[in-house]
Amino acid sequence: MASARSPIMAQLKLSSHMLSMLERHVQKVVRTSELLQLPRPSIKSPPTRVERWTVLRSPHIDKKSREQFEMRTHKRVLKFPLAGNEVQLRAMLQTLQTMELRGVYAEMKVLNDPSADAQVPQEIAQEWRSWAEALDAKGSNGNVTTAENVEKSAKESASSA
């Protein structure tokens, strides 16, 4: 028997240079969805990206003496079906927004499937999209920057000057 597909899927892409940290954050997200009694997200592991460099040890002599370095980027893709209880979906969204994913780059997308019959309230889908946009606007410190945070920091810097 084929399972019914959700009309809207939330896709959370996580990537990190440290595999242990990435796995820890994936488990944290999965546990959160289970605590909120949402369906378990499907987890995919895209290929690890490996970048390699070779550098001369000395710029003057000994061209044969070289050092080699590599950097690995591990990735995980979690897909959440968004058809369900509206309260649970809001709770999951708020939890993901406040969750600290230190050392892990997170990217969120909301995928539509127009062929499915059930519909998720537009407000929920819009909240997921706005959170995805906020993730794209991350600051250098790793915190999500919002318009309110920018206004607060501008007021604080103006008052201190």
The answer to whether residue 140 scores a pLDDT higher than 90 is: no
The answer to whether residue 113 scores a pLDDT higher than 70 is: no
- Where is pLDDT greater, at 26 or 147? 26
Averaged confidence pLDDT in the chain: 74
Question: Which pLDDT score is estimated for 142?
Answer: 46
pTM of the entire predicted model: 0.63
* pLDDT tens track for 9-68: 778 899 999 999 999 999 988 888 888 888 888 999 999 999 999 999 888 888 888 899
State the DSSP string of the chain.
-PPPPPSEEEEEEEEES-HHHHHHHHHHHHHHHHHTTPPPPEEE-PPPEEEEEEEES-SSS-TT-EEEEEEEEEEEEEEEE--S-HHHHHHHHHHHHH---TT-EEEEEEEE-TT-S----HHHHHHHHHHHHHHHT--TTSPPP-HHHHHHHHHHHHHH-
